[in-house]
Structure 1
Amino acid sequence: MIYQGFRFIQQTLFKFVTKEAIALLLKIPVEQIRKIRCWPHVILVVSEHLVRFVSYADLPPILEAEPPTDKDILTWRRRWRKLKTYKAPNSWKEFYTLQLRQSTNKGTLQAWWGLVNTIKFALSHNAVQTIKSVFQEIEYLMAVSVSG
């Protein structure tokens, strides 16, 4: 359950909040998440074994939301500069490889790959290469299953 505790959340990254992304970020199974509360500046996550605040800027963009804006990108870059990582968390790579593997048709697969290409500036070179390999593998498997 995702709960928006306030009428208006100024955080534009609210649109990217998903249980899957939070679970990967916190390295816990999705099933363990009991409650997600979106506050103006942070997200409160309550699971079976932990209670943690998460930054909106630690969550990757998703297809179901409007594409990332310049404001979103600036928020991410500020967060990464503050953490001295200068790139998105590794959970983004895990999230996108999972989304590609869960794609059930070529259109969805292409859409996820398009989103990754939009934000690849945020990912390490190795992360982009890993995601690209998964994309090519799934694309090949879809082509083989259609023609075979």
Structure 2
Amino acid sequence: MLTSLKPRKLVIKASKISYKSSEIHPLARFVTEEAVCLKFKIKFEDIYVVECWQYVVYVHGKGLSKFVSYADFPPVIGVAPPTTSETTKWRRRWLKQHNFIYRKQAPVWWARFFAIQFNQAPWDTVLYDWGKLINSIKFAFNEEILQQLRNCYRDNKELLVVSG
């Protein structure tokens, strides 16, 4: 399973994301500290700053200094959904990546990211929005990972019904 079920708690943290360009890249709306933590396998506390420049994201953290593409970040809810053009950018990015068994699909950490979002959804409406997002980008995952995400969604939905 992608993530274990744990009690939900709301944690508010100060943003470490800063915008360094007068023109904000359209994919900047998907840049999150949670994604940075998963992509680079670091803790939130170890991120110093995530700078969104016009064409690239700079991540600076404990033992980490990297420029990454906006196309490395998974979509999130609460902002405009991904466009066809943006999904094309993701697919091109995945094709360029090395050591991927499924070169036309998202990195595995994206599935972990979404499983965590399912687990942290405070209400069923938020969980539903995450599920809807996954359904819109299901091309990004192989059938096995997609099934794991569906199971995680279902388990969290049942937990929200019981605890709600």
- TM-score, length-scaled by structure 1: 0.92
Q: Deviations over 1:46-71 (max 9, x none)?
A: 00111111211111000021000011
Question: Match for residue 48 of structure 2?
Answer: 34
The yes-or-no answer on 1:15 pairing with 2:34 is no
**Which runs of structure 2 are paired with 1:1-148 in the superposition (5 Å)?**
1-9=16-24, 11-83=25-97, 85-146=103-164
How far has the Cα of 1:80 moved from its partner? 1.3
How far has the Cα of 1:116 moved from its partner? 0.6
What is the rounded CA distance, in whole Å, between the counterparts of 1:101 and 1:53 in structure 2?
29
Report 1 or 2 for greater relative contact order, CA contacts < 8 Å, sequence distance ≥ 6: 2
Q: Which amino acid aligns with 1:6?
A: S
What is the rounded CA distance, in whole Å, between the counterparts of 1:124 and 1:26 in structure 2?
22
Aligned residues: 145
What is the rounded CA distance, in whole Å, between the counterparts of 2:54 and 2:95 in structure 1?
21
Q: Which amino acid aligns with 1:7?
A: S
What is the rounded CA distance, in whole Å, between the counterparts of 1:124 and 1:54 in structure 2?
24
- TM-score, length-scaled by structure 2: 0.83
Q: Which amino acid aligns with 1:87?
A: Q
How far has the Cα of 1:41 moved from its partner? 2.1
Q: Spell out structure 1 runs of 4+ moving beyond 3 A.
A: none
Structure 2 portions without partners, runs of 5+: 1-15
Q: Which amino acid aligns with 2:59?
A: V
Whichever structure has more helix as a proportion of its residues is 1
Structure 1 portions without partners, runs of 5+: none
Q: Which amino acid aligns with 2:66?
A: R
How far has the Cα of 1:6 moved from its partner? 1.2
How far has the Cα of 1:40 moved from its partner? 2.1
